[in-house]
Amino acid sequence: MLLEVTVQSLGLDRTTNMPVVILQETEGERVLPIWIGPGEASAIAMHLADMDFSRPLTHDLLCSVLRGLECSLDKVVISHVEESTYFAELRVQRNGDLISLDARPSDSIAIALRMRARIFVSDDLLETATIEIAEDEVAPSEIAKEPELPDAIPSGDPELMGPDELKEHLKKLNPEDFGRFKP
């Protein structure tokens, strides 16, 4: 089953200094952090900040190409994770045909934001790789603050963790463990 999510915020994992996009289910409290590259984080951040450029950036160019080919982005689906790598698809409509394009989640999110397309995550992925926000914890919107990291944060690199280690690492994280990403 697929659940719709929105980009809740963009943060910086202070344990790895890697940007993290935080997706939150639209009809629930679960959030899904996905570690992304700085270039894609900048593209997402610039769009969220309504920054305009005189010349198209890469994600803008792809959106222009899709429109020029009379395609529409039906939705983005972040389907699964393998060895700490998330997989996504751009589901594009053209002349009544549905075309599924393999893409990185970070690029998919940047394009979905620009084309105002909905983003979906499999329920299984949300169930296994999510952070639950308890009533007494800081809400994801508080991630933008620059808190001090607690001593209990694991120092492991999520890119090098196996699925079980990543799941345990995610369970131990609190939203305040992320700083704000600054492009």
The residues near 53 (Cβ < 8 Å, ≥ 6 apart) are 46, 60
| Cα 68 to Cα 72: distance, rounded to the nearest angstrom | 10
pLDDT of residue 153: 31
Note the pLDDT tens digit of each residue in 129-151.
655 443 333 333 333 333 333 33
What fold is seen in the domain 2-180?
Answer: Bifunctional nuclease domain (3.10.690)
In this prediction, residue 14 has a pLDDT band, given cuts at 50, 70 and 90, of: confident
In this prediction, residue 44 has a pLDDT band, given cuts at 50, 70 and 90, of: very high
* Other CB atoms within 10 Å distance of the CB of residue 107: 21
pLDDT of residue 57: 87
Decide the pairing of beta strands 118-122 and 72-82. parallel
| Cα 142 to Cα 177: distance, rounded to the nearest angstrom | 10
Instruction: Identify the bridge partners of residue 98 per DSSP, sorted by sequence position.
Output: 93
More confident site: 59 or 162? 59
- Copy the structure tokens of residue 37: 């590259």
Q: Which of 33-37, 156-160, 165-169 ranks highest by mean pLDDT?
A: 33-37
More confident site: 52 or 93? 93
Given a contact cutoff of 8 angstroms between Cβ atoms, the answer to whether 107 and 101 are in contact is: no
* Residue found by looking up tokens 């999520």 in the block: 158
Note the pLDDT tens digit of each residue in 67-88.
999 999 999 999 999 988 999 9
